[in-house]
Structure 1
């Protein structure tokens, strides 16, 4: 078996699943009491029904520490009158300075190292879980594709990429399914495929696919495996591993975060930002830091979508540079409308941004009024 070399940490023997039923019961009660805050949706898979749970973003922030389960991306199943978790993402985590728990002062006082720093890839989150000991299922955050290799859905494209990755490692779907099933683990990956859907940062053809950045036990409380082990899982099954480094102190994290925020790069490569994994109150805890260049580029995308929807309205943006981008695309929509023909289908986003950056680098920002 290709997975026989993956040794889980000793602490895995203490993982508890017994409380999961009660947690999901509380989630059901919350749905009944406050249906505007969350919803669920059933998916029929073979002889089982998986339930996907979607929670409004604001609910996570408002109920930190009190909501039944903080998992962002959650699939459950009821067997023998008891709920169990069959796939789960990370607990919802926030940007530095976004909540009271992610202020630098709070992080200094309340978190413990070591601090694992992973690159934040720029794609769509994908979950890989076991449907049985022979079969895997690949989902998006809240949906399961039908059929499972549906080329129009994130999960379906993710499944197609998974088959390619497994083949490259001379592993089979059954190898992976057996390992996930026996350990009750969900793999968390980023689907980065510009041919299917562009985001902000470019992934050339030889760098596309699934980037594995996490492996979580299917438990109500978040238990996520160390990055070094996640890296080993990725290489075993042929997925792209994400870069990571380990730091001892929050001061070191803050120094690295400042560099990534300013340059938009880690290890010389453009990234969306970084994710920091550590401990808080003896539990796994994550927070993130976004890069400034990425956020500026994201402003461009949102400005473009706004202008395409309503050309006469001034778009909203955060960064001053986006004003010049707005003026520039007003002209480009007139002399190069073909650049934007598939923009709302997530195609052309990177090309238009790169063209503007080339214009910006020339330094002549004078444009006639529209």
Structure 2
């Protein structure tokens, strides 16, 4: 099942012995075991053998690769490592969020350091570590805390985490409702025929709630309405993963869901947040007692009842033991290997169309309801076990329509709809208007097809065409549900490319036919101070001849050149550059549907005009490589090619874009706001926000500037303030 155990303790504290004692070795990933696979024991300076750690990059990549493979199947897993760093445990926590795992930390750190050193001295030579390693571990344990959200248990509390049988004998009746597959009418008929949902009866839904039927939205709405009831338990079926991906803004691989179920959910305006909350309610199995009998309920069926259900992979509960056609064999095995009072109820597979009662103690709830078959249910009460089958009369065998390409409306129609959108503002410059999302749209996070497109969008309202444009708005990692880090493995199509994100403001260059000149704009205006600074830098950095050639090229190809303008004179941001710079980010087609030149083509065009382009930094082939890279670059002291940068823009193989800001940038952006408040008031209201030594040192320094008599002499940009701070720090 989806349980991850992190062992936390120094080498020599007894973790491996505890694993062996509790029979957990088959479920354990051990860093030391992988180190020994990478390299045989090495001879040390004292003549003893030891485990080499020179291959730790490979070791940890391998461990996390293996862990991800296990998590994809919902395997119970133990991590045998010291887990002394908070950052290490946060990485596991991220993965647990992605794969819906419960995570525990088995804490061995209350064993005294003297006892650990004694045990270490008595270990076999190969596993013995220098005492300074133990000292280092205990120093970390004292300062590096276990992250919130990870439940801490002691080694003797292992039994508290296991799946346990619950007693449901207090309920008058237990309902087991089989595969629904988007058939709400027959579901409601079953409930109505049984007097509606009653508080003294319990309802178990066995999974596969969507796809194939005609009433997917109605089923989802109903499940959302009952998800918080204490007498309702819903299991996860194999179709529910598409719901999870959809609710997080990702596209799954199910054509049925994407072309039929998804449009129905969108038309019904079901809140994705409600769907996410529903999905989190889905269980893996039900194991309960009713009277003298015991019941095991899964989506797809197991071949026996193991001593510890927690050791069974969730994938086997959802997809079933064996192949799709083995359901009859697993029913036979179950009867032959379990006591006479143990029963199993499942759905998912029934290729031979057997009756609900497969044998004396196994019941199959898959009845082809979506194709005009029956909704199958099993009721358990004081009088025994009863099977009920209700014919479905609302069905249609769906013929999959070929995937359609969404075509945009005319620009004229778009202008009308943009003007009607209260979250979009228009600025007029003769026949050309800019459309940009409002501050309210930004702060209220009102992002839809129109607001994301209205970012540096310039339209000719007389002729109904795109004059200039930049990007559709794209978001930072973890800023939106679809860009949550744990969802990117589903969203990103590999390989992906990471480009250096320079730290300036956006500038757009296109062609203005009314003036036969370049249209030079910032994100939303032609006449702002930013647009003027951008114009000045453009003519400074690009020769007059190249400006004319660029104008000719833009006119002939109907494109916009999108720049990052780093203006250290007029508008220094967070990252300090030795000189002001212009970087061509992309060449974008002047069309409502976003498209742009390939990177190499863009570079070739830029070279014609002597323009510096954005830098391609990394090409990343797989999710695991991306995972490792992501955590590497978020280290506090990370530098790209020897310099501090704002972050990276990430583009996948089909053009999807996201971005991330690095730790250094985020820290000094925060300190910029601290600076303004401290200089103005001499203090800040929330000193608790200062969580690092550097933050506190800088705050102590910058607040003194409040007392400077000539306030106009105080620099306001963080680059200058930071430089002065470190200069004074060196003097002291």
Shorter-chain TM-score tier: 0.7 to 0.9
Number of paired residues?
Answer: 321
2:542 corresponds, among 166, 182, 190, to 166
Q: Give the structure 2 partner of residue 209 of structure 1.
A: 581
The 3 A distance-change label for structure 1 pair 141 and 264 is farther
Q: Give the structure 1 partner of residue 520 of structure 2.
A: 138
Contact 2:452 2:474 in 1 (8 A): no
> Which of the pair has more CA radius of gyration?
2
SS in 1 for 2:685: coil
1:250 corresponds, among 618, 623, 628, to 623
Shift of residue 255, structure 1, vs aligned partner: 2.8
Q: Give the structure 2 partner of residue 241 of structure 1.
A: 613
Contact 1:116 1:227 in 2 (8 A): no
Q: Which deviates the most, 69-78 or 180-189?
A: 69-78
Contact 2:649 2:660 in 1 (8 A): yes
Give CA deviations for 1:302-354 in whole Å, capped at 9, x if unaligned.
111223344455268855233432222112443x566863534x4xx312112
**Hey, what's the Cα distance between the residues in 2 that align with 1:124 and 1:267?**
22
Greater fraction strand: 1
**Hey, what's the Cα distance between the residues in 1 that align with 2:560 and 2:474?**
18
Q: Does 1:93 align with 2:479?
A: no
Q: Give the structure 1 partner of residue 550 of structure 2.
A: 176
**Hey, what's the Cα distance between the residues in 1 that align with 2:676 and 2:581?**
26
Q: Give the structure 1 partner of residue 725 of structure 2.
A: 356
**Hey, what's the Cα distance between the residues in 1 that align with 2:447 and 2:721?**
39
1:224 corresponds, among 579, 596, 602, to 596
Q: Give the structure 2 partner of residue 41 of structure 1.
A: 427
The 3 A distance-change label for structure 1 pair 22 and 258 is farther
Q: Give the structure 2 partner of residue 12 of structure 1.
A: none
Contact 1:304 1:326 in 2 (8 A): yes
Q: Give the structure 1 partner of residue 458 of structure 2.
A: 75
SS in 2 for 1:255: helix
SS in 1 for 2:473: coil
**Hey, what's the Cα distance between the residues in 1 that align with 2:561 and 2:705?**
42
Contact 1:121 1:271 in 2 (8 A): yes
The 3 A distance-change label for structure 1 pair 125 and 184 is same
Q: Give the structure 1 partner of residue 487 of structure 2.
A: 106
Superposed counterparts of 1:255-274, under 5 Å: 255-262=628-635, 263-274=637-648
Contact 1:69 1:220 in 2 (8 A): no
Q: Which deviates the most, 56-65 or 257-266?
A: 56-65
Contact 1:264 1:272 in 2 (8 A): no
1:200 corresponds, among 540, 552, 574, to 574
Q: Does 1:55 align with 2:440?
A: no
Superposed counterparts of 1:138-157, under 5 Å: 138-145=520-527, 153-157=529-533
**Hey, what's the Cα distance between the residues in 1 that align with 2:516 and 2:698?**
51
Give CA deviations for 1:127-169 in whole Å, capped at 9, x if unaligned.
11111495212111111137xxxxxx222222222223331xx
* 5+ long unaligned stretches in structure 2: 1-406
| RCO comparison, higher one (Cα < 8 Å, 6+) | 1
What is the RMSD computed on CA atoms of the aligned residues? 3.0
**Hey, what's the Cα distance between the residues in 1 that align with 2:593 and 2:451?**
10
Question: What TM-score does the superposition give when structure 1 sets the normalisation length?
Answer: 0.76
The 3 A distance-change label for structure 1 pair 317 and 233 is farther
Q: Which deviates the most, 129-138 or 189-198?
A: 129-138
Give CA deviations for 1:257-277 in whole Å, capped at 9, x if unaligned.
333322342222211000001
**Hey, what's the Cα distance between the residues in 1 that align with 2:476 and 2:590?**
25
Q: Give the structure 2 partner of residue 301 of structure 1.
A: 672
Give CA deviations for 1:163-209 in whole Å, capped at 9, x if unaligned.
23331xx743221112112222111111112112211111113xx22
Contact 2:583 2:613 in 1 (8 A): yes
* 5+ long unaligned stretches in structure 1: 1-15, 147-152, 365-370
**Hey, what's the Cα distance between the residues in 2 that align with 1:107 and 1:288?**
12
The 3 A distance-change label for structure 1 pair 236 and 329 is same
The 3 A distance-change label for structure 1 pair 239 and 328 is same
SS in 1 for 2:570: coil
The 3 A distance-change label for structure 1 pair 221 and 312 is same
2:499 corresponds, among 118, 134, 153, to 118
Contact 2:436 2:454 in 1 (8 A): no
The 3 A distance-change label for structure 1 pair 130 and 342 is farther
